[in-house]
Structure 1
Amino acid sequence: MLTFLALAMIVVFIVLLSKKKLSVFAALTLVPLVFGIIAALATGHSLLDLFKWIQEGIFFKLNAKTGKVSWGVISPAATILFSILYFDIMLGVGLFDPVAEFFIKKAKGDPMKVLLSTVMVASVVSLNGDTTTTIIICIAAFLNLYKQLNLKLSYLAIVIVAPIGIWNQLPWGGPTIAAATALGVEISDLFRTLLPGLLAAQVVVILIAALLGKKERQRLNFNPSSTEKVSQEHLNQMLSAIRDNEPELKRPKLYWFNLLLTLGSLGLLIKGDIHGSIIFMLASAIALVINYRNVSECNNRLEALAEDVLPTAIVTMGAGVFSGVLTGSGMANALANSIASIIPTGLGSHMAPIYAIIAAPAICFLPQDAFYFGIASVIKGVMVQFGITPMQAAVASMVGQAFRLISPVIPALYMLCGETKQNFVDFQKEYLKYFWVVIVTYLVVYGLTGALPY
């Protein structure tokens, strides 16, 4: 009975999200509420038990025998809230502008340098975790240059999205938030585990950009030793896409302070001695006071950034309802046991990499929250029965992010394809032609570090 209810709840949740019948927050709260009522009545629990399940999913659960506390989503939600706030503040003050401008100036007229500069600028801008913002800024900065130099616009598209798929996995990025919340692991711990793979993937993306640049050199018969350069007019247009983005918020005189504050915050986050929410809450307060001296400016920034900060934090809190009902009612255990019973014993120990590969299309074609809360959270219970830890299950569920940025459910990609004059399916094919190696990189690196058992 509980297995059937669990499957029905997950399917209804995924369908409602896929068909856009409910928002993510509404689906995460209302669907488990309905099925939680059914599960409570079917198993002889009272409706008060349902609200206890929800409370444990949001706040914490105390194991009466061991005294161990299992945190709900309140921990990652607080980290998410303040980390997004902090990096939005840093994006506004122009912390990443000098790096982006440096790569644009160095590109000049060399196709290889242009492609390498594009991928580096996209990498820097994508650190704020927002796909749409990264695409808009990179298109504004590079589109005219690619047209002027007759470079393939399809290459522009794929070198913009490739690093986004990597750095969306930072602690304040959507995939990491969803995976950590759904699988019950700490965001900072998951990020430390993912970091070697992310760095290796970035190296691979740079090498692929260099390969594409070399192919463009050959196609255009460009001599790297020539003195051909981009016109000053086009260079200024590219730089203005960075400089003219909300100039009233820029604080160039405070650049080194903001850089040191950011590096210090990230260092503390990676070290793991202090909770991420505390780090970014304090860093946000310091950044606001130093960069915007009067109370009115600080309040205006908080109000302006609320649109970015609140939705993700609210969705994370809603996820506590979903995970709380699924776990507290016994549906998660029932479904995990049913799946585990049909998996051959010899295959169980190798389940992590197999799941990582099989899950890649699901990550690509399903809404992100539908995958992590509807599928990954249940598969975790199956993996645990074969000796795979929740952290290893979380890492396996992140491998498919290599293909997430060709997903048809990401609206910004249609804008990207429109600007680069290509069909969406052609864009997907062009990306897959080169970037399948990223998923292989993840599998190899995580295998070597022990984050993904084989």
Structure 2
Amino acid sequence: MHGEVLLGVMGILMIATIVWALIQSKTNPVPIFVIVPIIAAVIVGFGPQDIFEFIKVGVSKTWSTAVLFIFSIVFFSLMGDVGLFDPMVNWLAKKAGNNIMAVTIATSLIAVIAHMDGALASTLLITIPAMLPVYKKLHIRPVTLLVIIGAAMSIMNLVPWGGPVARTGVVLNADVNALWQELIPLQGIGLVILVVFAGYMGMVEKRRGAGLNPTGEAALLDSTIDEGDNIGPSQADFDEMKRPKLIWVNLIITLGVIGLLCFTKIPLYGAFMLGLALALIINFPGAKAQSKAIKMHADTALTMPMILLASGVFLGVLSGTKMMESMATLLIGLVPEAIGGHLQTVFGILGVPIGMLLGTDSYFFGLLPLAISVGENFGVDGHNMAMAMLISKNYGVLVTPHAATTFLACGLAGVEIKDMLKFCAPRLFILSLISLATGAMLGLFTI
């Protein structure tokens, strides 16, 4: 009834259908994440009781992140409304002028610093709200901001307290610090590649006409980047929200929230709940003013959490039906025997697309052990396999269509997931291949 091959094929078809539907943008992601997995589970023979249990488990894993979305998006949007970022935006815009490369390179460096704690969510929550207003003022596409942050997180995520290296250490039963020491030279070169890539993206935006006085394609952003569909608060509403006299108070609140994110074990959503509560009381005395401030961003603050909670249905079905494990086994079985001795290179090259398909935990705890065991039959050392798969997969952290951080990035930047995937995935895939080749040259694994 639940044959492994059937489960594997159905899992791949389900994910392919979801990704295709998201890119086509024919419907909202909520019904896609709910209906497609339920149909897939029914096809492979699971009944209502099983499916409802899968949903319950899946949603229980995403609700805390959904709460984080609500409070973090409203908090940072509110800080933008009251004018906290205005001085920095004006200063950077004035200094940069038409030197768009300076802004994109600065973005990469800010993202690197923000990712020192190894947490994807806090990096996005710090970097996007700080830099997005600058990008808007200089008419640089928000997807450019996302791809630079994605590249920065990918190379910085190799720190020992980052998830991928820790997971690899568990699978190999190896010391995490020892793994990291091997990866340090790659990280050093990767940071140079990151800055070059950020500068290149700045050149691309400059050619599009980005700058304080936009020309060419960038000028088209004038009417779209801020106003969207022209639905929602007017410019007068935003002007009314400014609180220039409270800028230092708001800065202290924001730094306090960031401090809680980086240096304490308080849940991320708890830090934003506290910050938002203080910000509302200080900036908007009275229930009516506070309600208006919240409603200004109710659309975005509710849309993304709904998508994330719906994705819990997908994750629950994928895990509960064992489709994930079956997909990993199926992918291993598709490898021709002729290339068995180079299996680590094959999986390294395919790290980003397979990572997008499986997600982080299933990639490292499902596929990696299988790949190591199969590779050993062809004489491939387990350490070689793990290094190749770790180095390349990292570049898919921001473009996994069923990961919470992907939707957090889209929500904060105001970018549709289809646009993000189309723009970021190919560029990050190319960077993964460059990183993989660099790792091979440094002797981290044999080809």
Following superposition, the deviation at residue 307 of structure 1 comes to 0.6
Assess, with a 3 A threshold, how the Cα gap between structure 1 residues 445 and 133 changes in structure 2: closer, same or farther: same
1:48 matched to 2:37: no
Assess, with a 3 A threshold, how the Cα gap between structure 1 residues 437 and 80 changes in structure 2: closer, same or farther: same
Q: d(CA) in 2 for partners of 1:202 and 1:94?
A: 31
Aligned AA for 2:245?
K
Partner of 1:395: 394
Following superposition, the deviation at residue 333 of structure 1 comes to 1.3
Assess, with a 3 A threshold, how the Cα gap between structure 1 residues 453 and 123 changes in structure 2: closer, same or farther: same
Aligned AA for 2:299?
E
Conservation of the 8 A alpha-carbon contact between 1:9 and 1:35? yes
Aligned AA for 1:355?
L
Assess, with a 3 A threshold, how the Cα gap between structure 1 residues 386 and 80 changes in structure 2: closer, same or farther: farther
1:327 matched to 2:353: no
User: Deviations for 1:2-51, whole angstroms, at most 9, x for unmatched residues?
Assistant: 1232233223323333333432111000111111222234xxxx421111
1:354 matched to 2:349: yes
Following superposition, the deviation at residue 398 of structure 1 comes to 2.5
Assess, with a 3 A threshold, how the Cα gap between structure 1 residues 310 and 32 changes in structure 2: closer, same or farther: same
Q: d(CA) in 2 for partners of 1:268 and 1:444?
A: 38
Following superposition, the deviation at residue 399 of structure 1 comes to 6.9
Conservation of the 8 A alpha-carbon contact between 2:351 and 2:393? no
Conservation of the 8 A alpha-carbon contact between 1:204 and 1:438? no
Conservation of the 8 A alpha-carbon contact between 1:115 and 1:210? yes
Root-mean-square deviation (CA), in Å?
Answer: 5.3
Conservation of the 8 A alpha-carbon contact between 2:324 and 2:358? no
Q: d(CA) in 1 for partners of 2:330 and 2:429?
A: 33
Conservation of the 8 A alpha-carbon contact between 1:118 and 1:142? no
Partner of 2:249: 257
Q: d(CA) in 2 for partners of 1:4 and 1:121?
A: 41
User: Deviations for 1:364-416, whole angstroms, at most 9, x for unmatched residues?
Assistant: xxxxxxx9467778655323534759998973422779xx99999429x9xxx
Following superposition, the deviation at residue 358 of structure 1 comes to 5.5
Partner of 2:216: none
1:162 matched to 2:161: no
Q: d(CA) in 2 for partners of 1:440 and 1:377?
A: 22
Following superposition, the deviation at residue 103 of structure 1 comes to 2.3
Gaps of 5+ in 2: 1-5, 111-122, 154-161, 168-186, 208-212, 214-221, 227-234, 373-385, 401-409
Following superposition, the deviation at residue 83 of structure 1 comes to 1.3
Assess, with a 3 A threshold, how the Cα gap between structure 1 residues 132 and 349 changes in structure 2: closer, same or farther: same
Aligned residue runs from structure 1 range 112-191, under 5 A: 113=99, 116=102, 138=135, 141-142=137-138, 162-167=144-149
Partner of 2:419: 410
Any idea what SS the aligned residue of 1:94 has?
coil
Any idea what SS the aligned residue of 2:397 has?
helix
1:281 matched to 2:273: yes
Partner of 2:35: 30
Any idea what SS the aligned residue of 2:45 has?
helix
Conservation of the 8 A alpha-carbon contact between 1:119 and 1:206? yes
Q: d(CA) in 2 for partners of 1:83 and 1:95?
A: 15
1:2 matched to 2:7: yes
Conservation of the 8 A alpha-carbon contact between 2:22 and 2:418? no
Q: 2:71 aligns with which of 82, 85, 99?
A: 82
Q: 1:99 aligns with which of 62, 65, 88?
A: 88
Conservation of the 8 A alpha-carbon contact between 2:23 and 2:419? no
Assess, with a 3 A threshold, how the Cα gap between structure 1 residues 357 and 328 changes in structure 2: closer, same or farther: closer
Q: 1:307 aligns with which of 284, 299, 310?
A: 299
Conservation of the 8 A alpha-carbon contact between 1:116 and 1:213? no
Aligned residue pairs, count: 343
Assess, with a 3 A threshold, how the Cα gap between structure 1 residues 303 and 374 changes in structure 2: closer, same or farther: farther
Conservation of the 8 A alpha-carbon contact between 2:83 and 2:242? yes
Conservation of the 8 A alpha-carbon contact between 1:123 and 1:163? no
Following superposition, the deviation at residue 57 of structure 1 comes to 0.7
Any idea what SS the aligned residue of 1:95 has?
coil
Q: d(CA) in 2 for partners of 1:12 and 1:26?
A: 13
Following superposition, the deviation at residue 298 of structure 1 comes to 0.7
Aligned AA for 2:368?
M
Aligned AA for 1:304?
M
**TM-score for the superposition, normalised by structure 2:** 0.59
Any idea what SS the aligned residue of 2:39 has?
helix
Aligned AA for 1:295?
A
Following superposition, the deviation at residue 245 of structure 1 comes to 8.7
Q: 1:383 aligns with which of 348, 356, 368?
A: 368
Partner of 1:65: none
Any idea what SS the aligned residue of 1:385 has?
helix
Partner of 2:58: 57
Assess, with a 3 A threshold, how the Cα gap between structure 1 residues 446 and 127 changes in structure 2: closer, same or farther: farther
**TM-score for the superposition, normalised by structure 1:** 0.58
